[in-house]
Amino acid sequence: MSKALVFAAYGGPEAQELVERPAPAPGPGELAIEVKAAGVNPADWKIRAGQMGSHWPLPAPMGREASGVVTAVGAEVENFAVGDMVLGLAAKGQGTFAKHTVLDAAQTVQKPEELSFADAAALPVAGATAYDVTHQIELEPGQTMLILGAGGGVGLMAAQIGNVHKFTVIGVASAAKQELVESTGATFVASGEGAADRVRAIAPEGVDVLIDLVGGQALRDLAVVAKDPSVIISTADPTTVQQLGGVAVVRTREGLEKVTGVAQYGLVDPQVTDRYSLDRAAEAVAMVEAGHTAGKVIIEP
C-alpha cells in the first residue's frame, strides 16, 4: 500500500486528507516512481479551490512535480529503466504528494548526480517556468529585466537565470524577502504602493522585459514601467496581461531539460527553504496558500 494527499471536494483545506491506496501502475507513456521529494506550488491549492476549473474527478490527488526513483516503465517509453533517478511532472490524473506516483515520461528527465532529490523536485514546475519566461523575449547583456513576485520559487530562479545572462535584474517582492532576492544578484524593490516609482528611480528609461508572477492590480500598477506593452509576460494572469498589450508565458518541452542542466552546474539554486514530511503535507500546502513562503517548499515522503 501507499499514501497520497487528495481533496474530496472543491473548496478549502478541510477537503484535503491523507489516504491509503495501492501504488499506481504506469500506463503507456508513463513512469511509476517512488517519490523522494515533491514541490509545492500555488497551483496546487488553486486547483483544490476550483480556481482552475472543476474537471478533476474526485477525490483528486494533489501535487504536480516530483523527483524519485523509477519502479516501473509503461509501454511506449524509451530511454528510462527501473532504478533511474528522475524528475518530472505528474501524469494525467496523478499527484505527487504521495509515497508513489506516476509521471508523464514526455515531461520527465534524468536527475543528475550533482542535484539532490529536494532541489530536483523544485524544477519541473518552477524551474521550467522560470527558464521559459526568461527566454521568451531575447535580451542582450546589460538590458533590464523586472520580475514582479521575485521572492517565490519561480521568481528566484528567474532572477538567477537573468544574472547568468548578465541582465540587469530588478526584483519586486515583500520587504521580508529582500535578503533572499538580493542573494540572486538582483536589485530589490519593495512591493506595494509606490513600487512603480521605486522601479523608475532605478530604471528611468523603463525596463526591457517585465516578468509577472503575481497578476491583478500589482501587474497593472507596474505595467507603466515597461518600455513597450509587448514586453510584458505573465505566468499568473493571462487575461490582465493581454488587456495590457502583453502576452502569457509560452511553455516549451525543452525548458525542463535546459533548466536541469543549468542547475546541475550550480548556476541556479532552487532555493529550497522549507521541508515537510508527507504526514505534514497539509501544512506545506497551507504555508504556500498563505503566501508566507520565501523560496521553495518541498514534501519529502
Bigger pLDDT: 47 vs 271: 47
Query: Alpha helix (H) ranges present in 100-248?
Result: 117-121, 128-135, 153-164, 178-182, 195-202, 216-222, 238-244
pLDDT greater than 90 at residue 55: no
- Span 199-221, average pLDDT: 97
pLDDT number for residue 153: 84
pLDDT greater than 90 at residue 45: yes
Cβ-in-10-Å burial (0-12, 13-18, 19+) of 53 comes to: exposed
Give the model confidence (pLDDT) of 286-297 as tens digits. 999 987 777 789
Give the model confidence (pLDDT) of 242-256 as tens digits. 999 999 999 888 999
Decide: 96 and 90 in contact? Cβ < 8 Å: yes
Bigger pLDDT: 152 vs 44: 44
Task: Quickly state the pLDDT bin for 181 (edges 50, 70, 90).
Answer: very high
The secondary structure element, H or E, covering residue 228 is none
pLDDT number for residue 291: 79
pLDDT greater than 90 at residue 35: yes
Pairing of strands 100-110, 85-90: antiparallel
pLDDT number for residue 161: 95
What distance in Å separates the CA atoms of residue 225 and residue 96, rounded to the nearest whole number?
39
pLDDT number for residue 152: 85
pLDDT number for residue 253: 81
Q: What is the pTM of this model?
A: 0.89
Bigger pLDDT: 38 vs 291: 38
Task: Quickly state the pLDDT bin for 77 (edges 50, 70, 90).
Answer: very high
Number of H helices, E strands in the chain: 10, 15
Decide: 285 and 44 in contact? Cβ < 8 Å: yes
Task: Quickly state the pLDDT bin for 280 (edges 50, 70, 90).
Answer: very high
pLDDT number for residue 23: 95
pLDDT greater than 90 at residue 273: no
Which range is least confidently modeled, 5-19, 123-137, 281-295? 281-295
